[in-house]
């Protein structure tokens, strides 16, 4: 079921050199070459094309409510394609690299989700801005996606060194995720905006990043190597936006339930950004759990591990970290040592199973009066269309453990086809 973007776009696409994770991490200090869908020779200086363009401004302030693209101030020289139309000749020491890096990552993330969706994704702001402006650096400790732009600041690592978000795959993919959610789900009116909509936006954007990074074969190999095939072990897949070897912005693998958080009933504009992120974590965790469940199912189906071991791991994960640590997972680790490529294929399959379901769920949701009960009902409805009753109990269990339950009204009419 799984597919390789690099193999798919190699015959006709364009090459970029990018970091699969933040280069401050030991295993990701060197960029790697990827192929994106942009037809060879179609990209101009910047890089730029008909959908987006990168520029590196001098002394720019972050965009605000009354300040929108296009940027008209001074800028550095653009990244230029080589004679064959590629950008992989640019390395991290080149001043133009970060603009090319941002463009390449955003294009890669769009490629992932356009494959899941089966077609191009129009920008939600296209009524006034036909192209997305990509700003690789402003002097600011944040990054954001707004009306016609994505721009990146920087954050200090544990040693106090400023690390540009333009080099951080997770941050770029998360911000691109906001654009995907805006385009697919839509924007509510002030009267129909809910706090759950804001929380879901953050959760879905983290999941966009998590699934997109799994389209790097090197990342899949890294995760399976450090965990020896046991995804319940803490690993880079769980971490979003690493700021050091041990510190990150958020974790998609968490034990939060809806009863652990407070604020979904608060007025949506009175909740600060940090709280909004936390409110979305139970749903993020539920989908991460689904990824691991699908992965275990694939391992069993491929006869790499026994069904009773998969069930033991599942039961222990529902209990506590201590229960998980007590499970004898040597058969799983030994199987991975024998068959690492088949384990990688199982994880890629699980990635695409979750990605396809999430993409179709986003496409069906309405932004008005959004709640997590409706999101859950829509996800289950999408899964039923894809595979009948096969995975319904698995998905329901992941959601209900997080106390996300589809209401009767949501099950009946909470989703709609676009």
Rounded to a whole number, what is the distance in angstroms from the first to the last CA of the chain? 25
What is the pLDDT averaged over residues 255-273? Answer: 91
pLDDT at 411: 53
Task: Convert the pLDDT of each residue in 144-193 to its tens digit.
Answer: 999 999 999 998 877 788 889 999 999 999 999 999 999 999 999 999 99
CA distances for 217 relative to 97, 334, 344, 347, 390, angstroms: 23, 21, 8, 10, 28
pLDDT in tens, 75-116: 999 999 999 999 999 999 999 999 999 999 999 999 999 999
Residue 242 has pLDDT above 70, yes or no: no
| Alpha carbons 106 and 98: distance in angstroms, whole number | 12
Q: Which domains can be identified in the chain, with CATH numbers?
A: 5-185 (3.10.170), 195-413 (no CATH)
* Choice among 205-219, 329-343, 395-409 with the minimum mean pLDDT: 395-409
Q: What does the alpha-carbon distance between residue 132 and residue 363 come to, in Å, rounded to a whole number?
A: 21
Residues 254-273: what's their mean pLDDT? 90
Handedness of CA 202, 264, 287, 323 (dihedral sign): positive
So what's the pLDDT on residue 2? 66
Contacts (Cβ under 8 Å, ≥6 apart) of 383 = 357, 391, 392, 395
Give the per-residue pLDDT at 254. Answer: 83
* Token representation of residue 355: 């990605």
Give me the pLDDT at residue 251, please. Answer: 65
221 beta partners: none
Band (240; pLDDT cuts 50, 70, 90):
low
Placement of tokens 């039961």 in the chain: 315
Range with the poorest average pLDDT among 5-14, 29-38, 293-302, 323-332: 323-332
Cβ neighbours, 10 Å, residue 83: 7
Euclidean distance between CA atoms 134 and 103, whole angstroms: 7
Q: CB neighbours of 139 closer than 8 A, spacing ≥ 6?
A: 153, 154
Q: Residues of the chain with pLDDT > 90: what percent? A: 80
Question: Is residue 55 predicted with pLDDT exceeding 50?
Answer: yes
**Residue 418 in tokens:** 């676009």
DSSP 8-state code for residue 143: E
CA-based nearest residue to 238, from 304, 200, 287, 279 = 287
Q: For all residues of the chain together, what is the average pLDDT?
A: 91
Distances (CA, A) of 388 to 2, 391, 392: 20, 8, 8
Q: In the prediction, which pLDDT does 338 show?
A: 97
Distance CA 290, CA 411 (A): 20
How many CA atoms, within 13 angstroms, populate the side-chain half-sphere of residue 240? 28
The mean pLDDT of 57-64, rounded to a whole number, is 94
Residue range 347-352: mean pLDDT, rounded: 97
User: Alpha-carbon distance 16 to 36, whole Å?
Assistant: 8
C-alpha to C-alpha distance for 35 and 296, rounded to whole angstroms: 30
**pLDDT band at residue 247, thresholds of 50, 70 and 90?**
very low
8 A C-beta contact, residue 395 and residue 383: yes
pLDDT at site 104:
98
Q: Which of residues 234 and 14 earns the better pLDDT score?
A: 14
């Amino acid at each position: 079921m799984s597919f390789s973007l690099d193999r798919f776009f190699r015959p006709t696409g364009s090459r970029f050199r990018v970091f699969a994770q933040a280069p401050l991490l030991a295993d990701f200090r060197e960029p790697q070459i990827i192929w994106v869908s942009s037809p060879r020779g179609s990209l101009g200086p910047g890089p730029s094309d008909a959908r987006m363009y990168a520029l590196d401004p001098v002394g720019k302030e972050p965009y605000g409510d009354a300040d929108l693209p296009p940027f008209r101030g001074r800028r550095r020289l653009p990244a230029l394609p080589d004679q064959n139309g590629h950008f992989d000749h640019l390395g991290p020491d080149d001043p133009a690299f970060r603009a090319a890096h941002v463009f390449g990552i955003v294009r890669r993330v769009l490629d992932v989700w356009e494959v899941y969706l089966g077609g191009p994704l129009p920008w939600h702001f296209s009524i006034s801005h036909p192209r997305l402006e990509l700003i690789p650096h402003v002097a600011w400790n944040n990054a954001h996606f707004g009306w016609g732009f994505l721009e990146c600041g920087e954050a200090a690592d544990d040693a106090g060194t400023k690390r540009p978000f333009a080099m951080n795959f997770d941050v770029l993919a998360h911000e691109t995720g906001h654009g995907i959610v805006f385009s697919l789900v839509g924007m509510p009116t002030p009267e129909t905006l809910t706090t759950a909509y804001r929380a879901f936006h953050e959760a879905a954007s983290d999941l966009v990043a998590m699934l997109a990074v799994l389209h790097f074969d090197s990342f899949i190999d890294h995760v399976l190597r450090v965990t020896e095939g046991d995804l319940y072990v803490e690993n880079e897949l769980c971490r979003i936006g690493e700021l050091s070897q041990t510190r990150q912005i958020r974790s998609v693998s968490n034990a939060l339930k809806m009863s652990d958080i407070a604020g979904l009933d608060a007025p949506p504009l009175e909740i600060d950004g940090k709280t909004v992120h936390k409110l979305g974590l139970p749903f993020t965790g539920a989908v991460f759990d689904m990824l691991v469940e699908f992965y275990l199912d694939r391992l069993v189906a491929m006869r790499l591990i026994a069904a009773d071991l998969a069930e033991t791991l599942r039961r222990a994960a529902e209990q506590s970290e201590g229960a998980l640590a007590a499970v004898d997972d040597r058969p799983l680790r030994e199987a991975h040592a024998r068959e690492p490529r088949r384990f990688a294929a199982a994880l890629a399959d699980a990635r695409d199973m979750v990605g396809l379901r999430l993409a179709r769920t986003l496409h069906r949701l309405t932004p008005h009066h959004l709640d997590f009960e409706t999101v859950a009902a829509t996800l289950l409805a999408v899964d039923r269309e894809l595979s009948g009753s096969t995975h319904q109990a698995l998905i329901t269990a992941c959601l209900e453990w997080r106390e996300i339950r589809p209401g009767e009204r949501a099950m009946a009419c909470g989703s709609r086809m676009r």
